Chain A
Amino acid sequence: NAGVTQTPKFQVLKTGQSMTLQCAQDMNHNSMYWYRQDPGMGLRLIYYSASEGTTDKGEVPNGYNVSRLNKREFSLRLESAAPSQTSVYFCASSEVWGKETQYFGPGTRLLVL
C-alpha cells in the first residue's frame, strides 16, 4: 500500500517549457488535491477534484490545468512555466470531500529558470 505517489521528485524547467506532474493514490479515495508550498506562505490550494469527473479551482489556479484521469490519478499541467512557479508541489487525497483527513504525497520540487 503505497499511499499517494508523485512523479517526478525533482524537475528543472526553462521559462516557457511545459510539463505534467503525476499523482496517484491507491486508497480508493474520492477526492484529490494539488497544493504548492512556498517559504512563508504555507500550503495554497491550486485545484481540487471532489470526486471522479469533477475539478474545481482553488486559491491559486492561474497558469495551471488539471486532469482527473480516473479515480486513482490526478495530474497537474504547467503549459508555459514561469519562474514564479518555482515551488514544491504536493498532491493529496481524502476519502470524501469535506471534513476529512488528507493524505499527502512526498512532493515534487520544481525549479523554473
Chain B
Amino acid sequence: GNSVTQMEGPVTLSEEAFLTINCTYTATGYPSLFWYVQYPGEGLQLLLKATKADDKGSNKGFEATYRKETTSFHLEKGSVQVSDSAVYFCALSWGGGADGLTFGKGTHLIIQP
C-alpha cells in the first residue's frame, strides 16, 4: 500500500537557521505530493505541491522538489522565522482509492528567537 514517512519531531531551531524536513514515500501510480502546515488550533492548509517528477513547489520561502528516483519530497527553507513554528505534514494523493490519500505523521517545528 501507499505510505509516507517523515521525520518526527519536535525539531527545534534558532531563528534564521536552515530548515530541512525529510519526507519519503511509497506509492503505486504517479501521485501528486504535498506539504501542508497546521498552526495551533487550526486546520491544515496547503503550503506547496508538486504534481510530477522533477517539479519544484515553492511558497513563502519554502521549497520541495519531487524526486522520483529517491521517492522523496524534502521540505527546505533557507532562513526560518518564529512565525514558521507549526506542524508540517507531507502527503501524497493519486486518486486510486482510499489508500491514494496518505499523510505522514507530521513534524512539529519550533523556532526559538
Contact = CB atoms under 8 A, between A and B. Distances in A.
Interface stretch (B13-21, B67-75, B78-86, B91-99): B91-99
Contacts of B25: none
A53 interface: no
B46 A59 contact: no
Chain B interface category by residue count: 20 to 34
Interface of B: 8, 31-32, 34, 36, 42-46, 49, 51, 89, 93-95, 97-101, 103-106
25 contacts: A4-B43, A40-B8, A42-B89, A43-B44, A45-B98, A45-B101, A48-B98, A56-B97, A56-B98, A58-B101, A59-B98, A90-B43, A92-B44, A97-B95, A99-B32, A99-B93, A100-B93, A101-B46, A101-B49, A102-B44, A102-B93, A103-B45, A104-B43, A105-B43, A106-B42
